[in-house]
Structure formats: C-alpha cells, structure tokens
Amino acid sequence: QVQLVESGGGLVQAGGSLRLSCSASGRTFSSYAMGWFRQAPGKEREFVAAIRSGGYTYCADSVKGRFTISRDNAKNTVYLQMNSLKPEDTAVYYCAVSRGSVSGSAYYTRQVSYDYWGQGTQVTVSS
C-alpha cells in the first residue's frame, strides 16, 4: 500500500524558514513526479511546487524565489524548503505523487494529475 507522510510543519514567525519533508513508501517513486499543494482555511487547495523524475521543477508564482522543491530518490523523499515565509503562507501542506509523464508545467499544477496524497502538515506563519 502506498503511503505518503509529511513532516516539518509548525509555527514560525514571518520572515522565517521551514523545511517540509514527504517520505513515500510502498513503491519506488523515482520515475514519478512529486508535488506540494496547500490549503488555507476557507480556500481551495492550490498548487505550490512540483518536481519531475528528471529534476525539472515548477513553482507557483506566489512562492517563486522563496520556496524550493527538491527530491532524494534514494530516500524516496521530496522536500520543500520555505524561506521568507509570510502569514499568507499559512495552510495545510500536502504532498502528492503523479504517475503521469507529460511535458510542460500545466499538467503538474492540477490536482487531478496526482494519484497519491499525504495527510498534510500544518504550517502557521505569525505576523
């Protein structure tokens, strides 16, 4: 059974940093894309960042220059380094895995492109 477990969330002051991790088990994900989404209270879940098996990365405009996605295939883990955090980054962050292999970024920004999801980790940024 496939499992994704996020960790690293917490409470941080504005301007601070956090590093989220998502550990995958149940199969090897090195050939799959992995992504991060977030959902703030009262809002729909939105795309944050994705990384394809070949290392191509995509980031939402709202986090570009502040967040960095990376992966360690040997550990079946994807990371989200979040710097210069803002109160509007407060949300539950979810990692996900996509078995698709499509060129272009649009595919990886859509929730329907992902097959497996974690339970989420809370990130709260205080002002």
Q: Encode pLDDT of 25-51 as tens digits.
A: 887 788 999 999 999 999 999 999 999
Of 5-9, 29-33, 49-53, 61-65, least confident by mean pLDDT is 29-33
Residue 1 has pLDDT above 90, yes or no: no
| % of the chain with per-residue pLDDT over 90 | 86
Tell me the pairing of strands 121-126 and 10-13. parallel
- 10 Å CB burial of residue 44 (0-12, 13-18, 19+) is exposed
Secondary structure, 3-state, 85-127: CCHHHCEEEEEEEECCCCCCCHHHHCHHHCCEECCCEEEEEEC
| Residue with the larger pLDDT of the pair 120 and 54 | 120
Q: What pLDDT score was predicted for residue 6?
A: 97
Residue 104: name the closest of 36, 38, 62, 50 by CA: 50
Mean pLDDT of the chain: 95
User: b/e map of 90-123 (b: 16 or more CB within 10 Å)?
Assistant: bbbbbbbbbeeeeeeeebbbeeebbebbbebbeb
Residue 112 has pLDDT above 80, yes or no: yes
Q: What pLDDT score was predicted for residue 2?
A: 82
Q: What pLDDT score was predicted for residue 29?
A: 86
Residue with tokens 């009262």: 42
